[in-house]
């Protein structure tokens, strides 16, 4: 029964194919590239073919796998002993052909240390080939295990990083934002932002409070009047066109006809959190917030940001007050907050 063609075997076979293409490229000679032990690859008396054997004998972790989960790719460093088994071709001896073949391998490793391969799963893997020193003790240890095979000049290469792909891959959560490092030739700032770094707000799921409960809390989102996108968080650069055109409206969900109070709180570096003045009354008109069915914005209460001329954070909540039936106490419940971040930045 054939064994499963693992990602490890695919990486080793792809490396062997790259070496085969490198040593057989423009020449008329044919070199067989084998994967196995030197003892198995050693030619017999009737063998008249040049061979290059790849012996993957040592596997190490990458050193950065302390937090790798079972459903995530596991990266390994592969140590490979590359040994030529050439035959003599008068007037060239087999030993000289060994050196010719080793020279071609070294040339390829030096000219193309990085190579991208595609696995059967469609995943692209970037491999780096690193030349390692092969000490006398290590030579003796390796070849003493190969029975009657005669020592041949060999190279020691490291292939990094080979992935061990899980059968059931973990599904990662989507990224909300990214961080980048910008390096320039001078210490002068040009004011240009990082390329390729795009901040994204989390997707808003449908929200519907259970109004059968006495202590139900309203749901709240904000909708930009211009693009009608419901949000529970947003970030704007001061002075940007997006901030200038931002016209938020409150989308409330709960028991239609219920009165709530919209209340802003603000945070600034110098003062911390403070409650903004003049809370705003509003009536709930919808039982559910569904991002796939945004109502006309003229049906939603308009909002005004407490400030938009300096850095800070703004938090909006919807408060509902009711009298608890058990003891007649006045109770106030709040929605989840909506956050608006104002920062000093680019356009």
pLDDT score for 337: 94
**294 in the same domain as 149:** no
Cβ-contact 296, 310 below 8 angstroms: no
147 and 31, same structural domain? yes
Same domain, 152 and 232: no
Q: Is residue 115 domain-shared with residue 52, that is, in the same domain?
A: yes
User: Domain containing 234 — which CATH number?
Assistant: 2.60.40
> DSSP H helical segments within 124-224, as ranges?
136-143
Question: Are 24 and 107 members of one domain?
Answer: yes
Assigned domain for 175 exists: no
| CA distances (Å), origin 320, targets 61, 63, 288, 300 | 56, 54, 16, 17
Residue 196 lies in a domain: no
Residues 109 and 15 both lie in one domain? yes
Distance CA 347, CA 344 (A): 10
Which letter does DSSP use for residue 298 in this model?
Answer: G
The per-residue pLDDT string of the chain (347 residues; one tens digit each, 9 = 90 and over) reads: 567 779 999 999 999 999 999 998 766 668 999 999 999 988 877 778 899 999 999 999 988 877 788 888 899 999 999 999 998 888 999 999 999 999 999 999 999 999 999 988 888 899 999 999 998 998 999 899 888 888 999 999 999 999 999 888 887 666 656 666 666 666 665 555 555 555 566 678 889 999 999 999 999 999 988 888 888 988 888 989 889 999 999 999 999 999 999 999 999 888 888 998 789 999 999 999 999 899 988 889 999 999 999 999 999 999 999 999 999 999 999 999 999 999 887 54
Domain of 146, CATH number, reads: 3.30.2000.10
| 87 in any annotated domain | yes
pLDDT attached to residue 281? 94
Torsion of the alpha carbons at 26, 31, 32 and 33, rounded to the nearest 10 = -70
Residue 107, C-beta contacts closer than 8 angstroms, at least 6 positions apart: 22
Whether the upstream peptide bond of residue 118 has omega within 30° of 0, thus cis, is no
Q: Do residue 235 and residue 129 come from a single domain? A: no
In-domain check, residue 133: yes
253 within some domain: yes
The verdict on 141 and 23 lying in the same domain is yes
- Token couple for 15: 């490396």
Domain count, the chain: 2
In this predicted structure, what is the pLDDT of residue 149? 86
Do 160 and 266 lie in one domain? The reply is no
Give domain status of residue 212, yes or no. Answer: no
The partner residues of 144 in beta bridges, in order of sequence, read none
The angle at the Cα of 85, spanning 132 to 112, to the nearest 5 degrees, equals 40
Q: Token pair of 54, please?
A: 């790849």
Interatomic CA distance for residues 15 and 289, integer angstroms: 54
Report yes or no on 273 lying in a domain: yes
Residue 173 covered by a domain = no
Domain limits at 240? 219-343
* Count of residues in the chain: 347
Same domain, 158 and 224: no
Same-domain pairing of 288 and 147:
no
**158 and 226 fall within a common domain:** no
- Domain's final residue, options 143, 164, 185: 164
- The last residue of one of the domains, among 164, 195, 228, is 164
End-of-domain residue from the set 164, 181, 198:
164
């Amino acid at each position: 029964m054939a064994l499963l063609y693992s990602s490890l075997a695919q990486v080793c076979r792809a490396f062997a194919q790259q070496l085969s293409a490198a040593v057989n490229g423009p020449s008329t000679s044919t070199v067989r590239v084998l994967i196995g032990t030197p003892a198995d690859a050693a030619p017999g008396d009737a063998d008249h073919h040049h061979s290059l054997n790849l012996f993957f004998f040592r596997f190490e972790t990458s050193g950065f796998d302390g937090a790798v989960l079972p459903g995530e790719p596991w990266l390994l460093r592969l140590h490979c002993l590359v040994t030529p088994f050439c035959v003599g071709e008068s007037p060239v001896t087999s030993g000289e052909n060994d050196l010719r073949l080793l020279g071609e391998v070294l040339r390829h490793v030096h000219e193309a240390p990085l190579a991208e391969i595609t696995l059967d799963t469609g995943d692209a893997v970037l491999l780096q080939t690193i030349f390692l020193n092969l000490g006398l003790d290590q030579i003796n240890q390796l070849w003493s295990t190969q029975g009657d095979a005669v020592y041949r000049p060999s190279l020691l290469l490291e292939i990094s990083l080979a992935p061990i792909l899980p059968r059931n891959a973990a599904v990662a959560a989507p990224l909300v934002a990214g961080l980048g490092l910008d390096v320039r030739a001078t210490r002068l700032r040009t004011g240009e932002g990082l390329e390729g770094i795009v901040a994204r707000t989390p997707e808003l799921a449908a929200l519907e409070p259970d109004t059968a409960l006495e202590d139900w809390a309203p749901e709240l989102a904000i909708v930009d009047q211009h693009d009608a996108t419901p949000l529970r968080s947003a970030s704007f650069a001061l002075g940007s066109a997006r901030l200038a055109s931002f016209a938020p409206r409150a989308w409330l969900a709960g028991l239609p006809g219920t009165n709530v109070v919209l209340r802003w709180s603000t945070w600034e570096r110098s003062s911390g959190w403070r409650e903004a003045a003049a809370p705003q009354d509003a009536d709930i008109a919808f039982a559910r917030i569904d991002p796939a069915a945004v109502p006309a914005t003229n049906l939603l209460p308009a909002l005004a940001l407490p400030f938009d001329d300096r850095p800070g954070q703004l938090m909006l909540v919807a408060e509902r007050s009711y009298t608890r039936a058990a003891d007649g106490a006045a109770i106030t419940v709040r929605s989840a907050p909506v956050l608006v971040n104002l920062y000093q930045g680019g356009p």
